[in-house]
Structure 1
């Protein structure tokens, strides 16, 4: 059976329940942390939940403001940066370099390349499946005699919903 057009869209581009994304991310993170014998502290859990809440990349200072709004005390920037570094180290989130912001990883705990589709209008960011880009990038690097240590590609445009809205 073939996928419907909406099923081929990245999750961030589909209408769905963000709460299930948050809960799934936290459950998976807890399992990964338990398997690695590291702690998913309340702050790390809270930062992960905020990163997953909308599929829009969030900067550290936006996260600090969101944490302050959810709590009566202000969390110091170094504390949030340490939480983000932990989440990055354990491959639970990704950093989008051009935006200096973070999004949740839909395939946490596994090493994979960072390919993102970023909407200019609504700001969502979705991971682009690697099977399309990896072979071309690796072939180009091999042809140039280049040894790749990491890959990150950021593709900027308009998501299907924004394109549909613009055409209406």
Structure 2
């Protein structure tokens, strides 16, 4: 009989039971703890010395008291909000095709590039337009066609 006790103890040690209702949370929990640890490490190694230098007067806080390009700053915020809003609107017009992502991303990349373009030359505008067409098209093709990921 001692062999049976030993065998059941060993088999219970080697058996695996999976709770399928919570098993999908295993890796996200690990990633959250890793990210929290990295955040703490950044705070200790980068932010604390920077704040100490600000307190001593050796450095200044970025953004505070500096001039800001309000047109580009608020233009970026508006474009980002419009991007997410119109992606849903256009995506509902072409359900399960990814055309909402494709068309709205093309417009977003074009407008964002034009917003930050300093030299409006024919060459620069050509590059902006080609990039606004090619980059979202490539992303759409890879995600929607190769990996069959449903896009808005």
**TM-score in terms of structure 1 length:** 0.24
By relative contact order (CA 8 Å, sep 6+), the higher-ranking structure is: 1
Which structure is higher in helix share?
2
**TM-score in terms of structure 2 length:** 0.26
